[in-house]
Amino acid sequence: MKLDGSDLRIIAALQKNARQTNLALADAIGLSPTPCLRRVRQLEEAGVIRGYRADIDRNKVGLNLTIFVGVKVERHQDDEAAKFVDTVTRWPEVISCHLVSGDIDFLLEVVAASMEDYEQFVLQRLLKIRSVRTCAPTSPCAPTRPAATCRCARGYQRLGWSHTSAPPHSIACNRGAHDARSRRPERC
């Protein structure tokens, strides 16, 4: 799907506030409501808009600890990697799982209520996966930018915005996002 300026404005506006009404969205981007809704539905059907999510303050729900865990696996065959990803992305403690290059194979973002809960996660779950060779945790001091924030540089350039003048927005790609077409939870 080729995106035009209206599509990019819709995306930016929804990333800022996905709960706004179609009327408010249409007004914000300069379209009438019917074409605006049609474009939103086309963006959803094309998979450009993958879902909508709530941005939760982890500390307020008792998840006071975020740890990034570098994982090295024994074998790199496709089926082993797929099994590892399928397993860890089913666990509620794993917020995201990324295949990376370098000394580790995967980088997991893990949340826990306490260090004891994290230790149980590692000992009772992560290290029980047969293909896991090593895991190395790194604890962030403080987030410098919300996890689901991104700037779409090419889109902004087409709209004539610089990276400093573009509106902030977030992309729904974390665990718990909802698929826009089926309303089912999706995994990254």
What is the pLDDT, as a whole number, of residue 144? 63
Mean pLDDT by 10 residues, the chain (188 residues): 94 94 96 97 96 89 93 81 92 94 93 94 94 88 57 44 36 34 35
Q: How far apart are CA 135 and CA 121, in angstroms?
A: 12
Considering the four listed CATH numbers 3.30.530.20, 2.60.40.1930, 3.40.50.720, 1.10.10.10, the one that applies to the domain covering 5-54+147-179 is 1.10.10.10
Tell me the residue type at 58. Answer: R
Q: Return d(Cα 47, Cα 93) in angstroms, integer.
A: 26
Task: Give me the pLDDT at residue 54, please.
Answer: 86
Gap between the Cα atoms of 159 and 11, Å rounded = 13
Q: What is 58-138's CATH number?
A: 3.30.70.920
The predicted structure's pLDDT at residue 174: 33
* 35 in Cβ contact with 25 (< 8 Å): no
Supply the pLDDT for residue 168: 35
DSSP 60: G
User: Could you give the CA distance from residue 150 to residue 162 in angstroms, rounded to a whole number?
Assistant: 14
Domain ranges of the chain: 5-54+147-179, 58-138
